[in-house]
Amino acid sequence: MVVGEMSNNPNTPSQSSSQPQKAPVSSPAPSKPPTASLQPPIAAKPATTAQPAPLKPSFEGEGWKPLPKKLKIFGNLLSEVVNKGICMYCGACIASCPIDILFHSDKEEPIMRGTCAVCQVCYYSCPRIELPLADVERRVFGRERTPEEAILGINIGRYSAMAKDPELHRAAQDGGAGTALLLYALDQKIIDYAVVSGYSFKDPYRPEPQIASTREDLIKTAGSRYTPGGQVGGLGEIAIPNRGSTNSQEERLAVVGLPCELQGMWRMTTHWIATPKLAKNVVFTMGLFCSKVFDYQKMMVDYVQGKRGIDLRTITKVNVKKARLLVYVGEKLVIDEPVEAVAFSAREECNVCIDYSAELADIAIGAIGSATGWTTILTRTPRGEEIVNGAAKAGYLELKPISEKGLKFVEKLCMMKRRRDPSVYMRNETSVPKPEPSLVALEIPVK
């Protein structure tokens, strides 16, 4: 299948509207070989540390309290999260609604079209209502982080990596390790699909969740989009039988997302009133390091296209690196200037985000800490570690331990992000370290 067949072609004028959208992940999936052949080779291997605990309802744990008597529905989500400027458009509420009346929108927030069944699921799926991190860690990783892992989060391996395939490397943002790992997982039938970030058909360079099942799909969706796309909404579209494209309990998925999107996915699937079955077929998650995202209309339409005159349909790459905004058309660098130029478009919900290194992913990837053209990888679960090492052994990745200096830099950025105050949605957390005062002054201002 071609991911978002038409939607990956950005040859459409940019026009924002507030029409509701579902992610275009519902196109028919390709037929697959018998399920027996889909068993991942990694499943048989012994785990090196505790496997994630099975997801099950619980009424206990840090941050897990009895439900209030007052019903909490989408209207409450609007007033307590969206209208307060702390919704990061992760898409968890959109994925979770059992009667499918929540949608993506051009305003980069969820919208409702239909009559609410007052089930409360969207409210309790939202990680900005409450994110009980220690409890989520126990469920996702089978344990909480140790004091040594306080800054980086639970981790097993720390690497620098590069895709060996030059075509993947060229298409990707940094070292192409993200795309190479997904390709390895597809080729080895560890997964059948990856929920990645593609492009909107309507608005050039606007991200949308897409499913990738082939090398071509992965190449088209490689690289980074610096505006939010409601990624978890894509999981909702494909993971529920009879509601999306795949319609099969047997199909196995990887989910790629920003740290907050993975928070949404795990909040949605671990809270006892939310939707555990959405994670049932997720074999592994891959998270991107992240310091902030920008508003699509303000950054891409108003600034890059409006003020700088770059036709969004011609852009081949956008990068935010070393505090500079870099925009390419083909091989040509057409914008290279301090990222402060688009600081006005930074989304305010990032001001309360403290997860830099995708602390809830099986595999976290970023640019910081490795040389140009390489990707930094942190593996956080035995499964993530096996996939990364398997990809290296099979010749998909060049892999080496990250340098001590590189790792220190990653830790520094993690600590810098913790200057932000998460207390509005992490009310009961004691496990999150505070930044050293010397680091607080170093961060690039969000607004």
| Helices (H), ranges, 115-258 | 121-125, 133-141, 166-171, 177-187, 215-221, 232-239
Q: Report in angstroms how near the CB of residue 350 gets to ligand SF4 at its nearest.
A: 3
Q: Which of 3, 23, 29, 92 lies at the binding interface for ligand SF4 (CB under 6 A)?
A: 92
Is residue 235 within the footprint of ligand FAD (CB under 6 A)?
no
Contact window for ligand FAD (CB under 6 A) among 116-124, 138-146, 288-296, 385-393: 288-296
- DSSP assignment, residue 274? S
The 3-state DSSP class for residue 98 equals: coil
Is residue 179 within the footprint of ligand FAD (CB under 6 A)?
yes
Helices 133-141, 259-270: crossing angle, 10 deg rounding: 80
The 3-state DSSP class for residue 232 equals: helix
Tokens describing residue 291: 């310091």
Q: H or E element: which one contains 65?
A: none
Q: Which of 354, 365, 378, 399 lies at the binding interface for ligand FAD (CB under 6 A)?
A: 365
Q: Report in angstroms how near the CB of residue 39 gets to ligand FAD at its nearest.
A: 24
Is residue 116 within the footprint of ligand SF4 (CB under 6 A)?
yes
Contact window for ligand SF4 (CB under 6 A) among 47-55, 98-106, 166-174, 319-327: 98-106
Q: Report in angstroms how near the CB of residue 369 gets to ligand FAD at its nearest.
A: 7
Q: Where are the beta strands (DSSP E) in 246-339?
A: 253-257, 282-288, 317-321, 324-329, 332-338
Contact window for ligand SF4 (CB under 6 A) among 118-126, 189-197, 311-319, 397-405: 118-126
| Helices (H), ranges, 172-310 | 177-187, 215-221, 232-239, 259-270, 296
Q: Which is nearer to ligand SF4, 175 or 236 (CB)?
A: 236
Q: Report in angstroms how near the CB of residue 226 gets to ligand FAD at its nearest.
A: 5
Is residue 375 within the footprint of ligand FAD (CB under 6 A)?
yes
Q: Which of 258, 325, 335, 342 lies at the binding interface for ligand FAD (CB under 6 A)?
A: 258
Exposed, middle or buried, 78 (CB in 10 Å: 0-12/13-18/19+)?
A: middle
Helices 382-393, 177-187: crossing angle, 10 deg rounding: 90
Q: Which is nearer to ligand SF4, 74 or 396 (CB)?
A: 74
Query: From ligand SF4, ligand FAD, none, which one binds at residue 282 (CB under 5 to 8 Å depending on kind)?
Result: none
Is residue 259 within the footprint of ligand FAD (CB under 6 A)?
no
- Cβ-proximal residues to 245 (8 Å cutoff; 6+ apart), any chain: 25, 26, 27, 28, 29, 211, 237, 238
Q: Which is nearer to ligand FAD, 124 or 296 (CB)?
A: 296
Tokens describing residue 26: 């519902």
Sheet holding 317-321, edge to edge: 317-321, 324-329, 332-338
Name the pairing type of β-strands 363-366 and 193-199: unpaired
Tokens describing residue 67: 């439900």
Name the pairing type of β-strands 363-366 and 282-288: parallel
Q: Report in angstroms how near the CB of residue 5 gets to ligand FAD at its nearest.
A: 16
Query: From ligand SF4, ligand FAD, none, which one binds at residue 301 (CB under 5 to 8 Å depending on kind)?
Result: none
Residue type present at position 81: V
Tokens describing residue 430: 């004691």
Q: Which is nearer to ligand SF4, 273 or 326 (CB)?
A: 273
Q: Which of 260, 286, 388, 399 lies at the binding interface for ligand SF4 (CB under 6 A)?
A: 260
Interacting residues with ligand SF4 (CB under 6 A): 73-74, 77, 81-82, 87-93, 96-97, 99, 101-102, 110, 112, 116-122, 125-126, 128, 258-260, 264, 290-293, 349-350, 353, 355
Interacting residues with ligand FAD (CB under 6 A): 172-179, 196-197, 207, 221-226, 229, 231, 256-258, 288-291, 293, 365-368, 375
